[in-house]
Amino acid sequence: EVQLLQSGGGLVKPGGSLRLSCAASGFTFRRHAMSWFRQAPGKGLEWVAGIDGSAERTFYADSVKGRFTISRDNARNTVYLSMNSLRVEDTAIYYCARETGGATTPPWFDPWGQGTLATVS
């Protein structure tokens, strides 16, 4: 079964740091790009960052550029999101997801992790 299991998150003060992890199983991890998303309380989905399968290229939303870092360890089948200089507005449920498809069409995201709450207060 293809699965993404998230850990990390919690409560941190403004200016603090958190690190989220997303452990993958059931597929060849290194063959897939991965992304992080977030959803503020009562709000919609926002893409945060992406990383290709080889970790050579990373991409960030403007809202987190320079503060967040996405990385992956293909030996551990895990993708990470390191969040620094956290702000109150970064409070959200954070999801990891696998890029799927993409051979002839822009990829979609499937599956998603269960989500983890990061609260900045």
Partner 1 sequence: SYVLTQPPSVSVAPGQTARITCGGINIGRKSVHWYQQKPGQAPVVVLYDDTDRPSGIPERFSGSNSGNTATLTISRVEAGDEADYYCQVWETRNVVFGGGTKMTVL
**Under the rule (CB under 8 A), what is the footprint of partner 1?**
35, 37, 44-47, 50, 59, 61, 95, 97, 100-101, 105-115
The gap between the terminal CA atoms of the chain, to the nearest Å, is 37
Give the CA distances from residue 23 to residues 27, 55, 78, 102, in Å, rounded to whole numbers and listed in that order. 11, 16, 4, 22
Indicate the residue among 5 and 17 with the shorter CB distance to partner 1: 5
Indicate the residue among 15 and 101 with the shorter CB distance to partner 1: 101
Min dist. Cβ of residue 111 to partner 1 (A): 8
Q: What is the DSSP letter of 89?
A: G
Indicate the residue among 52 and 71 with the shorter CB distance to partner 1: 52
